[in-house]
Amino acid sequence: MTLRAMFPYRERAPLARPDFSSFSPLSREMSRLLEEFSRSLGGVGALTTAGLSPSIDVTEADKEIEITAELPGLERQDVEISLEDNVLTIRGEKKMPAHTDDKNKNYHMTERSYGIFYRAFQLPVGIDPASVEATISNGVLKIKIPKPAHTDAKKIEVKEAA
């Protein structure tokens, strides 16, 4: 028996040609738009307004969790942070600048985003809200969350029922 007899025989198929239909560019553009739309949603725990979603880093060390958010153009009074039922919520609003001479301007392009955003993060059980510290400087928000003290496992003796 030869090695060739052990494998099913298939004729070589010609190399497949790419599909050059007239709908290919439309299909690619629709895929790009859907991907862009899903990126703007920011994932679970996020509510954004037309691209207004802060970029966030979450890091963890032995004793604390740190959340860093880029909030360009925002100041302390524009941001609200709350902790309830182990969920840390960051809310903010980027307001349009109040210009009195806007009536005389014709906008040709506007790419800046304004509106309300909301981000929520599930934290470990036992975080003390009073121990959470938040600072903002140059449009960067830093939230430091001390981890709760880890209790060691305790062996529980099983007794006979009376």
Mean residue pLDDT across the chain? 78
pLDDT at 73: 87
pLDDT at 99: 65
d(Cα 93, Cα 72) in Å, to the nearest integer? 11
| φ, ψ for residue 6, nearest 5 deg | -80, -15
> Which pLDDT band holds residue 37 (cuts at 50, 70, 90)?
low
> 28 CB contacts (<8 Å, ≥6 apart)?
none
Angle at 118 between CA 117 and CA 120, to 5 degrees: 160
pLDDT at 106: 79
| pLDDT over threshold 90, residue 24 | no
d(Cα 134, Cα 117) in Å, to the nearest integer? 18
